[in-house]
Structure 1
Amino acid sequence: MKAPMSDLVKQILKKPSQRQELLKGLNSLHKNSQQVDLNIGNKSYKLKFVNKDSLNE
């Protein structure tokens, strides 16, 4: 199953400045955190990490 934001992430990764902001946001993820807040340009996104097994429940 594809993640809902996969197409958006692909678009972001094509642009070097946005790619760097995305990677900064992912690098700021703490070990116990399950969510990352990203600010890219004037838009804000929340990435939530879930266990793929919990999606089938």
Structure 2
Amino acid sequence: MLKGIGKIIWTRSRRSYYILVPEEVAMDSSFPFKRGERVLIEVDVENKALIIRRGE
């Protein structure tokens, strides 16, 4: 499993949150996303988890 410490950042200008993925995770050949790819974001409230999947 790929693992690293990222960060959540708020930007006022775009009124959005950004999730920063550490380079050692994002550059690994098994990382499932490509730069600019749309993703589906789910919040699992019960498990206090954020789930990111490929967008449809």
TM-score tier, shorter chain, comes to under 0.3
Higher relative contact order (CA 8 A, sep 6+): 2
| Structure with a larger share of its residues in helix | 1
For normalisation by structure 1, the TM-score amounts to 0.26
For normalisation by structure 2, the TM-score amounts to 0.26
